[in-house]
Structure 1
Amino acid sequence: MFKKGDQKLINAWAFYDWANSVYSLVISTAVFPLYYSAVTEGETVSFLGMDWDHPDSLYSYALSFSFLVVAFISPILSGIADYTGSKKKFMKFFCLVGSLSVMSLYFFDGLDTVWIGIVFTILASIGFWASLVFYNAYLPEVANPEQQDRASAKGFMYGYVGSIILLIINLIMIQKPDLFGISASLASRLSFVMVGLWWLGFAQITFKKLPDDIYNKKPEKDYIWKGFRELKIVAKEVVNYPTLKRFLISFFLLSVGVQTIILLATIFGSTELGLETIDLIVTVLLIQVVAILGAFLFSRLSESKGNFFALKVTIVIWMVVCFCAFMLHKDLPNVSIYFYSLGAILGLVLGAIQSLTRSTYSKLLPETEDHATYFSFYDVTEKIAIVLGTFVYGLLYAITDSMQWSVLCLAFFFLASFIILSTLKRTKYVS
């Protein structure tokens, strides 16, 4: 049994990022969206008794629905998990749901099976994001406050390295299917199976070493209602901690920008700038590689200058990225080079801002046994931000017929986040 602060325990916790990050890169960003678009391009698809002339919108609605489901269930489940002391059981369950759903995407092989792609996209997304609630909640239980910046950064670094390795293998299969004696379509579908096996298999390393019920809770039979009560108690506590409450507001505003850019960067590159698929994939890989360095560098910056300072630096860089993207257009000479450059800058702060927000929130928590419930508020904040960000982005695109104005608008969310972050008072572990 490892004690809090033990490096082997921290490494085992961080390794779950290695396991699950292949979902966010291969399924959410790179391979599956391109495969889905290729299968449904120029077609009308049927789902839930309705005909969809724009299948891409059906896919985006499916993702939005999954985020709303997670935003609804995670506070309830985390309240139950904290009351029963069973975070690991919930984390295992959602890992299993997510990984099996990803593998089930193998059976999406044409227009007749679009429903399989949509249903298991929703279930995989729910499994991924819900498992992260309980995974993040372990951070204050495996690492001491002074270790949490590095531990959080280590997780993201593991995740970027692992997902790059599998994505490169998948891209070789898809680009050179003849080497394996298969079709490009089958190569894509096999990559979904590989993602699920990778996620489920490597997660066992984490599950083997993570503690369960460290507070030795003995729940009574009506634990569901006690879980709800736990949720209400934590909700009141969040309101009574002004620094924590304002940090969540700042996190919400920056997440509107960060998560929207992550989800829609490739669409911006293809639709607004007319870039080829290979250019987009190269940019995605570049972002992942640079993000490893960014997570490392900014964890060190936070140690020397404080979390709030390091976060404000990343937010300023995100605003610069938004303004630069606003200036890009498809008629610009060597626009792909500019897009690569923006990708490199984005990568530098992508891992950094995700890592720092997680560790900063963890440090701001009061002394508590209800870590899962507290982190569910963190998770819900991010999910609602995604819904708002994608809605604002799509609305401005519909009004202006240009994604450039949508990207520029995101800069104002970063600015608002920066202003609120600047008002926060230093605490014992956060400055």
Structure 2
Amino acid sequence: MNLEKGDKKLLNSWAFYDWANSVYSLVISTAIFPIYYESVTQTESGLVNFFGTQFNNTTLYTYSLSISFLIVALISPLLSGIADYVGNKKSYLKGFCYLGSISVMMLYFFNSLDTLWVGLLFSILASIGFWGSLVFYNAYLPEIAYKDQQDKVSAKGFIYGYLGSVLLLIFNLSMVMKPEWYGITSSTLAPRISFLLVGLWWIGFAQVTFKNLPEGNYNAKRNDKNLVFKGYRELRKVVNELYDQPVLLNFLASFFLYSIGVQTVILVATIYGKTEIGLSTSSLILTIIMIQIVGIAGAYLFSRLSGKIGNVSTLKITILIWCATCYGAYLLQPEDPFVTYKFFGLGFFIGLVLGAIQTLSRSTYSKLLPETKDNTTYFSFFDVTEKLAIVWGTFVFGLVLAITESMRVSILLITLFFFVSLIVLSFIKRKDLS
């Protein structure tokens, strides 16, 4: 049975995919895997050999992230255009979900420098699966929810994601920090089991979403011989349409700039805290959990605030907080006796605006879209913009690290990106979203 647009059960089913997939972004992208990667690849020189070339281990990791996001950026316009054309975006959502979840489970076999290729290959494929699925997931929003519902249901998705990911993270951390409780003796086994659990959680709970989501708009015959090229033609069509939508272009420019900062911070925060600041693993884990818990309240509070002062003004506030937080991280010194508490404080403010800036970005873009049936193609621009921002952010972060052997300059550059995005966003007025 197809549920009507705006139906509560349909909206909840859509939002529940955040519950399913957010364990990847927390456990794999942010918490356990980056720390595990650092511990497995740590050498006296800080260099690892990968196919005959010496890399700084962290630089190699950021480069692998850049590759994964570049691949997603290249293929998502094609796939989303096809999905709009034949009206089967749910099939693509499923395909990327299964690719990501199975790849996460394959990380179980990454247990030493000898299997470094396993860790890098399947972390790249998992990233492609996660972000590729979001292209189609986000594109459902204007199809299933009316404009006055979109802020609320978007925030609900992030809140579901925070709750689900924290629950699984706490259990996984109990294994990692107290392996003897589970009879685990190997130093690498507990994190590797956590990777298996993430994959099973993701693929299992996603079935709730798949059960109730419609296939998508049906726009054409499936036997068209030019189907493969249809996505590119649709992409070019939207590019031409964007020239007549200066407000949408302005938002995308600002979104690109602050996404460089947001996504890069999410991906390298734990590595920065461990390597540059010298924080203990337990301190980093506690900070991550706090960020997720505060993020629940932040997504809700800023969603309410946007209803009173508008999306643009609310986004400006979140960007200002990001600026101050990144600059504060740049100023942290490992010899400071209060550095751990200061890192906790910065983590609190990151949590406050992390979910807020993401949910507001998604709903603001949705509100700015013209009336169209090609929602997936338009949302591919949103996702491609974000992916290219991550490619640029992670590549620059790794390159600056390789040149300076310090992450501090990279963090300072991130602060600058936030500041410039604030200036660009200031050209959009509240009336532009009405």
Same fold per superposition (TM over 0.5): yes
2:198 is equivalent to residue 201 of structure 1? no
| Partner Cα separation in structure 2 for residue 260 and residue 107 of structure 1 | 26
Deviation at 1:59, TM superposition (A): 2.4
1:239-289 deviation digits (Å, cap 9, x = unpaired): 221111111001001111111211121222122221111111111111111
1:427 Cα deviation (Å)? 4.9
Shift of 1:421: 1.3
Deviation of 1:150 (Å) = 0.9
How far apart, CA to CA, are the structure 1 residues paired with 2:419 and 2:193? 43
Q: SS at the partner of 2:206?
A: helix
Which one-letter code corresponds to 2:289 in the other structure?
L
1:125-204 residue pairs with structure 2 within 5 A? 125-183=127-185, 184-204=187-207
1:173-195 Cα deviation digits (max 9, x unpaired): 11222221223422211111100
CA RMSD of aligned residues (A): 1.8
- Kindly provide the amino acid, as one letter, of the partner of residue 300 in structure 1: R
- The range that moved more, 49-58 or 2-11, is 49-58
Distance (whole Å) between structure 2 residues aligned to residue 419 and residue 45 of structure 1? 40
Equivalent position of 2:21 in the other structure: 20
- Does residue 348 of structure 1 match 2:349? no
Equivalent residue of 1:240, what SS? coil
The alpha carbon displacement at 1:393 in A equals 3.2
Contact 1:173 1:180 in 2 (8 A): yes
How many pairs align? 429
Partner of 2:270: 266
Which has the larger displacement, 37-46 or 140-149? 37-46
Higher mean C-alpha displacement, 283-292 vs 401-410: 401-410
8 Å CA contact 1:30, 1:284 repeated in 2:
yes
Q: CA deviation at 1:217?
A: 4.0
CA distance in 2, matches of 1:364, 1:273: 41
Q: Give the secondary structure class of the aligned counterpart of 2:379.
A: helix
SS at match of 2:31: helix
1:370 aligns with 2:391: no
| Contact 1:215/1:369 (<8 A) preserved | no
Question: Which position in structure 1 is the counterpart of 2:425?
Answer: 421
Shift, 1:401, TM fit: 5.0
Structure 1, 202-211 or 262-271: larger mean CA deviation:
262-271
CA distance in 2: counterparts of 1:392 and 1:170, whole angstroms: 32
| Residue range with higher mean Cα deviation, 257-266 or 91-100 | 257-266
Q: Which residue in the other structure is 1:285 paired with?
A: 289
| In structure 1, distance between residues paired with 2:411 and 2:57 | 23
Query: Bigger CA drift: 32-41 or 229-238?
Result: 32-41
Deviating more after overlay: 197-206 vs 49-58: 49-58
User: Which one is further off, 163-172 or 27-36?
Assistant: 27-36
Q: Which residue of 2 aligns with 1:324?
A: 328
1:106 and 1:403 map into 2 onto residues whose CA distance is 29
Aligned partner letter, 2:263 = Q
After superposition, the Cα gap between the structure-2 partners of 1:53 and 1:419, relative to the gap in structure 1 and judged at 3 Å, is closer
Q: Which residue of 2 aligns with 1:228?
A: 232
Contact 2:85–2:218 (Cα < 8 Å) also in 1 = no
1:304 pairs with 2:304: no
Using the alignment, how far apart are the partners of 2:396 and 2:126 within structure 1?
A: 25
The aligned residue for residue 339 of structure 2 is: 335
Of stretches 355-364 and 176-185 in structure 1, the one that deviates more from structure 2 is: 176-185
* Structure 1 gap ranges (5+): none
Partner of residue 259, structure 2: 255
Moved over 6 A (4+): none
Equivalence for 1:213: 216
Q: Which residue of 2 aligns with 1:59?
A: 61
Alignment TM-score, normalising by the size of structure 1: 0.95
Q: What displacement does 1:396 show? A: 4.3
Give deviations 1:375-418, integer Å, cap 9, x for gaps. Answer: 11111111111122233334444555543333233222222211
CA distance in 1, matches of 2:180, 2:58: 29
Contact preservation (8 Å) 1:45, 1:114: no
Report the identity percentage.
Answer: 60
What 5-or-longer segments of structure 2 have no aligned partner? none
* Structure 1 residue 57, shift from structure 2 partner: 2.9
Note the C-alpha offset of 1:207: 0.6
Q: What secondary structure sits across from 1:213 in the alignment?
A: coil
Q: TM-score, normalised by structure 2?
A: 0.94
